[in-house]
Amino acid sequence: MLARTEPAPHPSRSSNGCAQKRPSRTDTPTVTNAAYGSSASVGVVVTAPAGQIPTGQVSVTAGGSTQTVTLDAQGRASVALPRTLAPKTYAVTAVYSGNSTLVAASSSARVTIGRGATKAPAFAPRGTVKAKKKGKATVTVAAPSGLAKATGKVTIRLKRGKATKNITATVRNGRAAVNLPKLAKGSWSVKVTYRGDASYAPTKAVSIRRPLKVKG
């Protein structure tokens, strides 16, 4: 968005003989939404009357975080919001501080942070799994560094021939302790689906490369 100009009114002076400040306008911020873990961007344009050049700083606030940046030669500025903003819709406020010839101004918009993505869930048995005995396994749902640990549920599907076992486990701090049912001897294929939580979107069913080997 480019800065717009307005016809220049005749300059006026205050009672002490000094030139009065002219009005400015902070256009509605241009917002680019993002997913959790990525930085949404906010673009700001300050408009001034013809012959006036907007200079100075603009402060952008969203989700309790405020960043102050300097306008460029066209009266524009861009701010990247923190990648740690939790998924939801936030009010965005842009405040221009004004300068020696222009008064301060402000405007607002809204930005939406969607749910982010985890890495594909990983499955690993804990120790040797023996036939006709209950075993244990761990599912790991890794999140990007610096972000919240995954929570929620995972579904594990074990299949051998016509036999199928479906298991649901709870994810805490990125890991789920899985109680395996009694299984017949042999190799079982494994598929894991992460159902998502408030921060992360669900995954598709992931086929684990190594089958679960159940020993006799």
Which H or E element spans position 45? strand 41-49
- CA–CA separation, 16 vs 90, rounded Å? 44
Q: What is the pLDDT of residues 200-216, one digit of tens each?
A: 999 999 999 999 999 98
- CA–CA separation, 10 vs 122, rounded Å? 71
- Domains belonging to the chain, first-starting first, are 20-114 (2.60.40.10), 122-215 (2.60.40.1940)
Q: What is the pLDDT of residues 10-59, one digit of tens each?
A: 444 444 455 577 888 888 999 999 999 999 999 999 999 887 889 999 99
Let me know if 196 is exposed, middle or buried by CB neighbors in 10 A (0-12, 13-18, 19+).
buried
Q: What is the pLDDT of residues 167-189, one digit of tens each?
A: 999 999 999 999 999 999 999 99
Q: What are phi and psi of 135, to 5 degrees?
A: -125, -175
Contact 12, 93 (CB under 8 A): no
Q: What are phi and psi of 34, to 5 degrees?
A: -155, 165
Token pair of 116 as six digits: 């982010």
